[in-house]
Chain A
Amino acid sequence: MPVVSMTVNGNSVSGEVEGRTLLVQFLREHLRLTGTHVGCDTSQCGCCTVHIDGKGMKSCSVLALACNGSSITTIEGVAVDGKLHPMQQAFHEHHGLQCGFCTPGMIMSALDMVRRKGNDLDEHTVREQLEGNLCRCTGYHNIVKAIQAGAAAMKGDATPATQHD
């Protein structure tokens, strides 16, 4: 089987994978990084969103082999030294999660949103940009509030949107 090598959350990793192995399977099953979730089979739910070379991507729609040499950040790599990232803190403060299953994907998408759209996010923008992330618990209300607050808190915060880009 071919070997794939990449950097995940700052660590160099490699492993043997089948050609059909998806990045999300490599992360979850080979590396046991189970914070990245699988919520569907049609690339709709966004629970598996990670950052590949700094950009938000659904890891269910990328082959592991296609990420050879890439730098990946998963939800496990967002907090540094046990200190929550401002976006994570905003989700906590605004009760932006209930069952917690969509949460890693939401946070990875939110960070990507800030990268693309900046720190001043209006409600309309956040809702439009969340097109690719589904939640069944919150009615999105507190997720939208959390992302707006998290984006604002990241302004002037030294923590980059993605730690290991």
Chain B
Amino acid sequence: MSDSAISTRIGEPVRRKEDLHFLTGKGVFSDDVSLPRQAYAVIARSPHAHARIRGIKTAATLAVPGVVMVLSGDDLRADGLKPIAHMPTSTHHAETALVNSDGSEIFTAPRYALAIDKVRNVGEAVAMIIADSVAAAKDGAEALEVDYEILPSVTATVAAAEPDAPRVWDEARSNVCMDAQVGDPEATETAFASAAHVVKLETWAQRVTGVTMEPRAAVCEFDAATQRYTLYTASGGAVRLKEDVAHVLGIASKAVRVVMEDMGGNFGTRGEVYPEFILVAWAARRAGRPVKWTCERSEAFVSDYQGRDLAVTAELALDAQGNFLAMRGSNIGNAGSHTVSFAPLKKGLGIMSSIYRVPAAHFRARSVVSNTMSTRPYRSAGRPEVIYVMERLIDLAARKGNFDRAEIRRRNLLSEAELPYTNQFHMTYDNGAYHKVMEEALTLANWQGFERRRIDARKRGKRRGIGVANYVDTSTGAPRERAEIIVHPEGKIDVVIGVTENGQGHETSFAQLITEWLGVPADDVRLIDGDTDIVKVGGGAHGGRGMRMASLVIWNASKQIIEKGTRIAARMLECDPSSIRFDSARFIVEGTQRTVGLFEVAAAAGQLKDLPDDLHGSLSACSEEIHHVASFPYGTHVCEVEVDPELGIVDIVGYTAVDDVGRAINPLLIHGQVHGGIAQGAGQALLEQCHYESETGQLLSGSLMDYALPRADNFPFFKTGISEVPSTTHPLGIRPAGESGTTPALGVVVNAVVDAVAEFGVRHIEMPMTPERVWRAINGKQPPSSVSTSR
């Protein structure tokens, strides 16, 4: 198993250290943690999309053998629990905050861990039943009598924005809680007036959900002696979760300890506090014993934060040669029942024009509340939606103006000389070789040879299509991060950091940084990221911040280790510190054979009596940084599909990606991230949708029997290439890779399918491009209104 014989430095495809325990069944996921005397919680959830709670009768529940307690919104209010501290408007320095164009305040909805007076989406938590077993708690939940007065509901995005739509919050003026504008309307109008070609797209990047393979779970114990809560669970960030739980309970954050071990997927879905995490803590205190809750999959479909859901009307204006002149339109994001996050709407809007030269633009951006589960960032929040819109507009323009699809992109793609470039949405891109990467992707995909493949497919009765999409991604996220490095004399190094591991392989890739800078093999590095009694500061894993932030603080702390170690080594070697250089874990006196090892120095730090205070004790160093600038990953994907024109079935037969990561720390892991990202994006393009029934607000895609998650036979092997143009906004040049696969995948898959069936007069197909939708498009048959999926 040992990789110590091979290099574990930056750039090496090091096999993961974390694999061994997963491969042998020794992973510790949330539901694998159990505590002595624990009780089990089951959540009673709203069966209605919108209803007033007239009353809750608990007698029958309490009579069920094994049930120990029922907690409802009234209990929550009596105990003074506060609303959850979601921060929907929080904005990174590199982004532009959206404000209401009429100057009014943005509406944010208070969200309690249990519904107080009304329920506003199917699945909203209404009561918690605590029992000696899960089965008893379930029996108790079934016996609970909740008297609901059903209210009119609205789930669809455009419908929710209508003035006469059923009102989700009486406290708000309408369901539109944010209504902002960006850009220059006059310049845009002028450009459109002079355009030779204008194309328009009305579309909906549909609601999907993360479906992390591990359903959420949490167990909490309360220690009456110390008045401390210990919460075992998994989340996108341990420190933020600790603070969020403490806030709702109205206690100091040091009274909460969060312990996270392994996490079976995040993708943003698990990046924020959930009501159940608070409820188990509250219940543990009330019940006087640990309380555990484990989510079931069908429960996850109604209660996990959902993603995407952006309704767009967009137009692109071009001159006769195919130069882009301007774009305009309107984006409506569906926040769901509570305003958990406006980030997808804002982040998408910021890169609406992607990496193309668009001299004028004007967009309206609205966020609406609706009777659906709340949304928050899901793998590449907001960007896949708008890249999809832009790349569709370009293909529509190419068909309308008879431009070659690759050529029109080359014509409008920003050149290196134009970078850094501030787009019309106030985002400033760093640098990149956009043209070079696009050509590499086209070559890797054999774009030139496609027409022969199209003819071959036709002979087999198939229609083959190809699509290309460029993209840019914005990497921002929580700007504060901290790392502590401790060198142990016995030959091990600890790295304590607030970036959380959710499957990315940080135990390996962060250790590679230590190999590079301190010369210690990755196997001798231990990562500590999930216990808030040890990790005090740090922003978790989201927004492509993991390696970008971690590398900064690990780099700075490594330099301090070398600096401190040099001074100690100088004492040991009896020389001046300036004559010492550090190489491969050894301090060497220049021009001599005299050396001392890093771990010997660490031992000396604890033993030497006459060291200055800052050197005595353990050889350790801390770095805390606030990094306010964004990086912009970018790249080009090419997708090739075959469509069965009789059945409308789409097969992805080729998928090529070239993504710029600035500097590849571990290419093996980067390729893996891109593969998974492509599958999530292509899954949205072809298969997935959270389908709410418009009359009742019921979620019809409520299990893995109904929600079409991609399976192994939905894909071919992917061809992935890595480009490394160091980012000028990061000291080490790093751009994130985790969202690259997903960002262009929606657009490129739709472009390929539309290309395949364009001969039937098809100019666009909405996602998910199910066989029925493709067949209807080919045959010019609109869906009957009863089955149309309203956006």
- How many angstroms between the C-alpha atoms of A76 and B21 in the bound complex? 10
- How many angstroms between the C-alpha atoms of A82 and B145 in the bound complex? 53
Return the CB mask of B24-60 against A: 1 if under 8 Å, else 0. 1111110110000000000000000000000000000
B213–A101 CB distance below 8 A: yes
A36–B25 CB distance below 8 A: yes
- Stretch in A62-70, A132-140, A156-164 with 4+ CB within 8 Å of B: A132-140
- How many angstroms between the C-alpha atoms of A40 and B294 in the bound complex? 12
CB < 8 Å: which of B22, B135, B715 contacts A97? B22
Q: Which residue of chain A has the shortest Cβ distance to B21 in the bound complex? A: A100
Check A102/B717 contact, CB under 8 A, given A136-B265, A139-B675.
Answer: no
Q: Which residue of chain B has the shortest Cβ distance to A44 in the bound complex? A: B704
Q: What bracket does the count of chain A residues touching chain B fall in? A: 35 or more
Determine the chain A residues whose CB is within 8 A of the CB of B713 once the complex forms: 127-128, 130-131
Q: Which residue of chain B has the shortest Cβ distance to A21 in the bound complex? A: B135
- How many angstroms between the C-alpha atoms of A49 and B70 in the bound complex? 35
B672–A95 CB distance below 8 A: yes
- How many angstroms between the C-alpha atoms of A69 and B775 in the bound complex? 52
Give A30 Cβ to nearest chain B Cβ, in Å: 12
CB < 8 Å: which of A33, A101, A138 contacts B264? A101
Determine the chain A residues whose CB is within 8 A of the CB of B669 once the complex forms: 95
Give A69 Cβ to nearest chain B Cβ, in Å: 24
Say yes or no for B575: interface residue by CB 8 A criterion. Answer: no
Determine the chain B residues whose CB is within 8 A of the CB of A114 once the complex forms: none
Say yes or no for A84: interface residue by CB 8 A criterion. Answer: yes
Determine the chain B residues whose CB is within 8 A of the CB of A97 once the complex forms: 19, 22-23
Determine the chain A residues whose CB is within 8 A of the CB of B505 once the complex forms: 98
Determine the chain B residues whose CB is within 8 A of the CB of A99 once the complex forms: 212-214, 262-265, 502-503
B182-203 contacts to A (CB < 8 Å): none
A101–B29 CB distance below 8 A: yes
Give A100 Cβ to nearest chain B Cβ, in Å: 3
Q: Which residue of chain A has the shortest Cβ distance to B31 in the bound complex? A: A38
- How many angstroms between the C-alpha atoms of A92 and B711 in the bound complex? 21
- Stretch in B224-232, B463-471, B597-605, B676-684 with 4+ CB within 8 Å of A: B676-684
B214–A140 CB distance below 8 A: no
A37–B709 CB distance below 8 A: no
Return the CB mask of A96-138 against B: 1 if under 8 Å, else 0. 0111111110010000000000000001001110110111111
Say yes or no for A155: interface residue by CB 8 A criterion. Answer: no
A130–B675 CB distance below 8 A: no
Determine the chain B residues whose CB is within 8 A of the CB of A139 once the complex forms: 675-680, 710, 715, 718, 741
A27-53 contacts to B (CB < 8 Å): 28, 33-42, 44-45, 47
Say yes or no for A149: interface residue by CB 8 A criterion. Answer: no
- How many angstroms between the C-alpha atoms of A44 and B709 in the bound complex? 10
Determine the chain A residues whose CB is within 8 A of the CB of B265 once the complex forms: 99, 101, 136-137
- How many angstroms between the C-alpha atoms of A126 and B675 in the bound complex? 17
A134–B711 CB distance below 8 A: yes
Which one of B1, B15, B27, B741 has the highest number of Cβ atoms from chain A below 10 Å of its Cβ? B27
B676–A136 CB distance below 8 A: yes
- How many angstroms between the C-alpha atoms of A74 and B24 in the bound complex? 9
Give A84 Cβ to nearest chain B Cβ, in Å: 6
Which one of B29, B211, B267, B676 has the highest number of Cβ atoms from chain A below 10 Å of its Cβ? B676
Q: Which residue of chain B has the shortest Cβ distance to A88 in the bound complex? A: B23
Check A141/B675 contact, CB under 8 A, given A38-B31, A101-B213.
Answer: yes
B20–A92 CB distance below 8 A: yes
CB < 8 Å: which of A37, A84, A138, A142 contacts B1? A84
Give A21 Cβ to nearest chain B Cβ, in Å: 9
Determine the chain B residues whose CB is within 8 A of the CB of A37 once the complex forms: 29, 213-214, 264
Determine the chain A residues whose CB is within 8 A of the CB of B678 once the complex forms: 139
- How many angstroms between the C-alpha atoms of A163 and B771 in the bound complex? 44
A136–B23 CB distance below 8 A: no
Say yes or no for B297: interface residue by CB 8 A criterion. Answer: yes
Check A131/B679 contact, CB under 8 A, given A42-B705, A144-B717.
Answer: no
B15–A136 CB distance below 8 A: no
- How many angstroms between the C-alpha atoms of A35 and B20 in the bound complex? 12
Which one of B18, B25, B262, B297 has the highest number of Cβ atoms from chain A below 10 Å of its Cβ? B25
- How many angstroms between the C-alpha atoms of A88 and B297 in the bound complex? 27
Say yes or no for B560: interface residue by CB 8 A criterion. Answer: no
Check A40/B297 contact, CB under 8 A, given A45-B213, A95-B668.
Answer: yes
Which one of A39, A47, A88 has the highest number of Cβ atoms from chain B below 10 Å of its Cβ? A39
A45–B32 CB distance below 8 A: no
Determine the chain A residues whose CB is within 8 A of the CB of B402 once the complex forms: none
Give B232 Cβ to nearest chain A Cβ, in Å: 13
- How many angstroms between the C-alpha atoms of A47 and B705 in the bound complex? 15
A134–B24 CB distance below 8 A: no
Say yes or no for B7: interface residue by CB 8 A criterion. Answer: no
A136–B19 CB distance below 8 A: no
A91–B25 CB distance below 8 A: no
Say yes or no for B712: interface residue by CB 8 A criterion. Answer: yes
B724-746 contacts to A (CB < 8 Å): 741
Determine the chain A residues whose CB is within 8 A of the CB of B16 once the complex forms: 92, 95
Say yes or no for A75: interface residue by CB 8 A criterion. Answer: yes
CB < 8 Å: which of B20, B24, B709 contacts A76? B24
Q: Which residue of chain A has the shortest Cβ distance to B655 in the bound complex? A: A139
A98–B23 CB distance below 8 A: no
Q: Which residue of chain B has the shortest Cβ distance to A9 in the bound complex? A: B25
B712–A143 CB distance below 8 A: yes
- How many angstroms between the C-alpha atoms of A20 and B673 in the bound complex? 40
Give B337 Cβ to nearest chain A Cβ, in Å: 24
- How many angstroms between the C-alpha atoms of A35 and B21 in the bound complex? 10
Q: Which residue of chain B has the shortest Cβ distance to A18 in the bound complex? A: B135
A134–B213 CB distance below 8 A: yes
Q: Which residue of chain B has the shortest Cβ distance to A99 in the bound complex? A: B503
Determine the chain A residues whose CB is within 8 A of the CB of B19 once the complex forms: 91-92, 97, 100
A45–B679 CB distance below 8 A: no
B667-724 contacts to A (CB < 8 Å): 668-669, 671-673, 675-680, 703-705, 709-713, 715, 717-718
Determine the chain B residues whose CB is within 8 A of the CB of A143 once the complex forms: 712
B24–A78 CB distance below 8 A: yes
B32–A141 CB distance below 8 A: no
Check A130/B704 contact, CB under 8 A, given A35-B25, A100-B264.
Answer: no
Determine the chain B residues whose CB is within 8 A of the CB of A128 once the complex forms: 712-713
Determine the chain B residues whose CB is within 8 A of the CB of A138 once the complex forms: 672, 675-676, 679
A33–B23 CB distance below 8 A: no
Determine the chain A residues whose CB is within 8 A of the CB of B101 once the complex forms: none
Q: Which residue of chain B has the shortest Cβ distance to A92 in the bound complex? A: B19
Which one of B28, B704, B710 has the highest number of Cβ atoms from chain A below 10 Å of its Cβ? B704
- How many angstroms between the C-alpha atoms of A101 and B29 in the bound complex? 8
Say yes or no for A79: interface residue by CB 8 A criterion. Answer: yes
Give A67 Cβ to nearest chain B Cβ, in Å: 18
Give A148 Cβ to nearest chain B Cβ, in Å: 11
Say yes or no for A16: interface residue by CB 8 A criterion. Answer: no
Say yes or no for B524: interface residue by CB 8 A criterion. Answer: no
A140–B715 CB distance below 8 A: yes
The chain A residues found within 8 Å of chain B, CB to CB, are 18, 20, 28, 33-42, 44-45, 47, 74-76, 78-79, 84, 88, 91-93, 95, 97-104, 107, 123, 126-128, 130-131, 133-145
Can you report 18 A-B residue pairs in the complex whose CB atoms are below 8 A from each other?
A20-B135, A34-B28, A42-B704, A45-B704, A75-B24, A91-B19, A91-B23, A95-B15, A97-B22, A103-B23, A131-B712, A134-B213, A135-B213, A136-B267, A137-B503, A138-B679, A139-B741, A142-B672
Closest 5 CB pairs of A and B: A35-B25, A99-B503, A101-B264, A100-B22, A139-B679
The chain B residues found within 8 Å of chain A, CB to CB, are 1, 15-16, 18-20, 22-29, 31-32, 135, 210-215, 262-265, 267, 296-298, 502-505, 668-669, 671-673, 675-680, 703-705, 709-713, 715, 717-718, 741
Known contacts A42-B297, A128-B712; 14 additional CB pairs below 8 A are A35-B24, A39-B215, A95-B669, A95-B671, A123-B717, A131-B713, A135-B712, A137-B672, A138-B672, A138-B675, A139-B741, A140-B679, A140-B710, A144-B717
